[in-house]
Structure 1
Amino acid sequence: MGLLLGLGLLVGCGTGGSDTHPPPAPVAQPGPAVVQTAAGAVRGTVAPGYRVFDGVPYAAAPVGPLRWERPEPAAPWSGERDATTPGLRCIQDTSFDPDYGRPTGEDCLNLNIWTPDGASRSSQKPVLVWIHGGGFLNGSADIYDARWMATQGDIVVVTVNYRLGALGFLAHPALSPDANIGNYGLADQQAALRWVRDNIAEFGGDPTKVTIAGESAGAMSVCDHLVAPDSAGLFRAAILQSGPCQAQADRATGQKVSTDYATKVGCSDPDAVAACLRSLPAKELQSAPLYVGFGPDKLTGPVTGTDRLPVDPMTEAALSRMPRIPVLIGSNGDEFAMFAALQYLKDHGLPPYPKLLSDTFGPDAPAVAAHYPLDGFGGNDGLAYSAAVTDSLFACPTDRLTSGLAHTNPVYAYEFNDRTAPAPDPLRAVPFAVGASHSLELRYLFDVGGAPPLNPAQRELSDKMVAYWSQFVKDGKPEVAGLPDWPQFGADGSAKRMSLQTPQLTITEDFSAHHNCAFWATLKGTR
């Protein structure tokens, strides 16, 4: 579990970095700084080129009888609500992923809105709704400073907090006797999307031009919204970054693990489980029910076969039953290197290569070793292991999902390949390069801090990525004047992807072969 929880370390651990918002402008102008929402007025921060409104509630606090219930509307307030500092992060296990001074609590259903100069009720901009990652176990909306998207991209950006871990995804049948169990965090995201639909025009956003986006667990969430009935009509395009969307638990698994979890926390009386769970202090619910394998690790998350999520998104994509909307999708060239590095740091080294493969792939380990021989990676266990799990867990499932979506959708695919991407100090202490690892592309889209700054070439790549992403939000196509054409995946029968790298962008067609996807397709039990 500790490997997954390390994601927050990567995107928010720096001291003195830029993962906090800029200071308020010396004089907050009363007009632009105050916006009226359906629940009341909010006063944000006016800064050069943009405004930001932090910690705006989109739903009532899910406490007491509302714990493990669908989110209810936020209670209205009188006067102006201060929206100049982030709201609470949702409850999470900070023993694995420190919160670095950011307070957590159950009253965490809030979001942040970034608007560019010129956005107004009469001059509305397209909207990006960002769902954070963290394995459905950790993370928060306030990590993602979206000033570049707002100022350079000229779009409105909304970043969302949602319930995590046990409070967000416990699927105990006593909490809901029908099929609508679990998925409370997914319901929170849907409530946030409805809030955007109903309120974003007041901030200068166009409610008819909403794109949902996310990375890692955030991208998995986007996958689920593509097939969730209650999400239909709330967005018109989707962006998926490094999302292992195959890592979904079915209802039976979710119920069994959740029942065992309730017993572990002292709630085993069949007639009183729900009341017992709702009476527990939140600190006793910081650990999470872990449903599905993720390499050598496990994670929690949405449960399929339920009313809120009746089908598995990977299956629906393969059967061409996804909504026909534009999709931008991709992964990073060295996804698993970050997790391998965190394991190295946690255990002060890695086990021998054969044991790493055996622990991860079980009886398929010899076949994996044959395709990923240690001498092909200079004898470096970390590099060989990272390559194998990157391909099996991220690259090839992403390739499968991309191909499935392309049967019916306009799809634009990428691979992030800047193998000199800045990484936090701890990851640079391991005896293998983490390269273009999981989450490192985020630094090119958001000012997340926690690592050395981008060099000039990387800053140029960042500008290009912000331009592509923003243009996709505007019209569903990453077509930017002055930048290389980004081909539609599968449009001419090819599998063309944009390779995002320095010193220049390239178009590739060998992604599947490079990541040995034909081999991984033969291992039915390997995710």
Structure 2
Amino acid sequence: MSRLVRCALALLIVGALTLGCADTGADAPASLPADPSVVKTTAGLVQGVATLDKRNFAGIPYAAPPVGPLRWQPPQPVAPWAGVRDATKVGPRCLQDEGSDLEMGRQTDEDCLTLNVWTPPPAEELRPVMVWIHGGAFINGNGGMYDSRWLVDRGDIVVVTLNYRLGALGFLAHPALGPQGAVGNYGLQDQQAALRWVHDNIEAFGGDPDKVTIAGESAGGMSVCDHMVAPESKGLFRAAIIQSGPCQAQLALPAAERISADYARDVGCGDPAAAAACLRALPDHKLRKPVWYDRIGEDTLSGPVYGTTVLPEDPMVAFREGRAADVPVLIGSNRDEFTLFVALQYLRGTTQYAPGEYPGLLADTFGSDAAAVGARYPLDRYGGSAALAYSAAVTDGVFACIADEMADQLATANDVYAYEFNDPNPPAPEPMRTLPFPVGASHSLELRYLFDVGGAPPLNPAQQQLSDQMIDFWAQFVRTGVPSADGAPEWPAVSGDGPWMSLQPDGSRVAEDFGRQHQCDFWAGLQR
């Protein structure tokens, strides 16, 4: 796979009330709190913002700051606090590379292990909970950007968003950092710590700890795949949502250790005997650069590593062999996933996608299969546009058909519901609207139908109707394990090759030809 595709996969996008003297919180919904903005957690009282229709608690620490001797250690319990902690502002984002971060590294810190809770007003009955894991290639992004008010208002569920360690601080797998097989995956362990926090605390916020769904997009979707096979994640959730998660992009521990040793050498910690102490003594700005940046070969490290105590096996192998968690799964992809990454490369001037570049792009990406791919995705089928032809090929081979394969494998033991987001003209950031080719239903653009993430024009009436329908589908899945929405077609479970729900602003519909549309038989033949 080419550096372009690897770097693109590594850029899976993203990313007040005055405190009073209240001394009681919401111990349980059965006794509704006098002040709904104050909640008692296991570590102390927090005060967020409460309105008539919702509550938001932001920046709640779920683990101790992973700094100093706790750098590259599993997350530790948060220290209790006295009094009432302000929970009206999101915490800093985890340390990120300035070149890949939309705010050029500002508002980031190593002390970043916080989460945010969105809830409807207090009620006697506990609500189901969705824990959202953000995307960003495990090198950028944050939980605070996912304003969850629509899921709370319309879906009547509790939503938790979270930060987790990213880049080198989250996933460096240098063998000196811990016992054999127990290095790397610190960011994944952060997510597990947040899930344990939810189990211990969410009832005080009106959420049901026995009805937790884990969900994520892109790197967040990959994380969900990992939790479905990670031993320490067992029992922490009862359903899973995987959005645009290319879960095949995982790295084995031996390669990760080698790459991590090279990284340590490059930052001045090349002596294996002293590497751990050297790395932990470095100022944090020297660790912003992700591990994968200078890795041009076949092995790159960005995210969780399998073959470790935290993630013993490749989730794709576990899915294929029936060893995933036995929970309902909602899984899907977007119709034009890869156009986003082609657009980013075009806007940066890295590649202009002239027709003459097409054979080289295919050769760089697909190697000896380039000619076969080119025959399947000829330029004339895409109006002579190398950008669209190349996007279609990588969308099908890296995203759509992998999702199709995962859905079929999981469906042998799980109830699986598959979707394709298929709005050909969704709201997109302004630069994406000035390209010489359409981005279509590209990677991450479905998020604007579930969360108020901003940065693009508002939905038109038909898109707003689709947004309402998607929120209903997602919320009902969180509630019952089966997606449904009033006025929408019945969403059947995957059985054999399909069916998939095509989510469209002109009316969603059940599609039986997802695999044919994305030429999945062709891609399966290349993998044999």
1:105 alignment partner, one of 95, 102, 109:
109
Q: For residue 283 of structure 1, give the secondary structure of its aligned residue in structure 2.
A: helix
Matched, 1:272 2:277: no
**Corresponding position of 1:370:** 375
**Corresponding position of 1:443:** 448
Q: What is the identity, as a one-letter code, of the residue corresponding to 2:386? A: D
Contact 2:500 2:510 in 1 (8 A): yes
CA distance in 1, matches of 2:295, 2:201: 38
1:357 alignment partner, one of 331, 354, 362:
362
Q: After the TM superposition, which parts of structure 1 deviate over 6 Å for at least 4 consecutive aligned residues?
A: 23-30, 291-297
Matched, 1:234 2:239: no
Measured against aligned partners, the alpha-carbon deviations of 1:278-310 in whole angstroms (never above 9, x if no partner) come to 001111011111299999996601000111000
**Corresponding position of 2:336:** 334
**Corresponding position of 1:19:** none
State the number of aligned residues. Answer: 509
2:95 alignment partner, one of 66, 74, 91:
91
Offset of 1:524 from its aligned partner?
2.7
Measured against aligned partners, the alpha-carbon deviations of 1:114-142 in whole angstroms (never above 9, x if no partner) come to 001234xx421000000000000100001
Identity, % of aligned positions: 60
**Corresponding position of 1:289:** 291
CA distance in 1, matches of 2:467, 2:340: 21
Offset of 1:406 from its aligned partner?
0.3
Where does structure 2 lack aligned partners over 5 or more consecutive residues?
A: 1-5, 23-32
Change beyond 3 A, Cα 1:238–1:229: same
1:166-205 aligned at under 5 Å gives the runs 166-205=168-207
Change beyond 3 A, Cα 1:5–1:249: closer
1:507 alignment partner, one of 499, 505, 510:
510
**Corresponding position of 2:58:** 54
Matched, 1:523 2:501: no
**Corresponding position of 2:399:** 394
**Corresponding position of 1:32:** 36
Offset of 1:98 from its aligned partner?
2.3
Of stretches 420-429 and 60-69 in structure 1, the one that deviates more from structure 2 is 420-429
Contact 2:421 2:504 in 1 (8 A): yes
- Larger RCO (CA under 8 A, 6+ residues apart): 1
Change beyond 3 A, Cα 1:404–1:291: farther
**Corresponding position of 2:256:** 254
CA distance in 1, matches of 2:174, 2:266: 13
Contact 1:129 1:213 in 2 (8 A): yes
CA distance in 2, matches of 1:32, 1:330: 37
CA distance in 2, matches of 1:513, 1:115: 41
Contact 1:328 1:411 in 2 (8 A): yes
Q: Give TM-score scaled by structure 2 length.
A: 0.92
Where does structure 1 lack aligned partners over 5 or more consecutive residues?
A: 13-22
2:434 alignment partner, one of 399, 408, 429:
429
Offset of 1:270 from its aligned partner?
1.7
CA distance in 2, matches of 1:342, 1:299: 21
**Corresponding position of 1:453:** 458
Contact 2:114 2:163 in 1 (8 A): yes
Contact 2:133 2:223 in 1 (8 A): yes
**Corresponding position of 1:80:** 84
Matched, 1:462 2:464: no
Taking only aligned residues, the RMSD between alpha carbons, in angstroms, comes to 2.3
Contact 2:331 2:417 in 1 (8 A): yes
CA distance in 2, matches of 1:173, 1:462: 46
Offset of 1:482 from its aligned partner?
3.1
CA distance in 2, matches of 1:360, 1:453: 36
